[in-house]
Amino acid sequence: MTNTIDIAQVAYLKAYAGLIALIGTRIYPDALPQGATIPCVTFTRVSGVPTVCQSGDSHLEDTSYQYKVWSSTRLNAHAIIAQIKAALHGKKVTMGDLLVQASIVKSYRDTNEPDIGLFTPIIEVRYWHGG
């Protein structure tokens, strides 16, 4: 297996037509790069846990990511969140050569960065995938 969930989920989202229409391929790890074009998305892994079953290692991992949208308008920020949800919620998909058994939106919340005048809602997604 050549793809890890870190690589696979970004490649999958960068190829999702609904997101391309709104942000192109502007999806960045961890922090907003200096001078980044807005709107865009940053992502952070918030957890990753191997899972076990009665017979031992299940060969699945439970991994969660937070995606933070950066937009100058609330309407556009919500449209981007809606596309992330459409791309991922309730899906069993192959991302590269990684099979994701399930991806589920865990939570969503509105936030903003008043010092820079941006709307920054966050959506958290949980993946069950091969380890």
Q: In whole angstroms, what is the distance from residue 73 CA to residue 63 CA?
A: 30
At the top level of CATH, which class does the domain 5-130 belong to?
Answer: alpha beta
Regarding pTM above 0.75, the answer is yes
> Could you state, in order of their start, the residue ranges of all structural domains in the chain?
5-130
Q: Using alpha carbons, select from 60, 47, 57, 129 the residue that is nearest to residue 96.
A: 129
Per-residue pLDDT at 78: 97
Q: Using alpha carbons, select from 78, 87, 86 the residue that is nearest to residue 119.
A: 78
Q: Which residues of the chain have pLDDT under 50?
A: 1-2
Per-residue pLDDT at 33: 95
Collect all residues with Cβ–Cβ distance below 8 Å to 53 and sequence separation of at least 6: none
Residue 100 CB neighbours (<10 A): 20
Phi and psi at residue 25, to the nearest 5°: -115, 25
The string of pLDDT tens digits covering residues 52-61 is 666 766 678 8
Per-residue pLDDT at 1: 39
Q: For strands 118-119 and 112-113, give the pairing.
A: antiparallel
Per-residue pLDDT at 106: 95
Q: Annotate the chain with three-state secondary structure.
A: CCCCHHHHHHHHHHCCHHHHHHHCCCEEECCCCCCCCCCEEEEEEEEEEEEEECCEEEEEEEEEEEEEEEECCHHHHHHHHHHHHHHHCCEEEEECCEEEEEEEEEEEECCEECCCCEECCEEEEEEEEEC
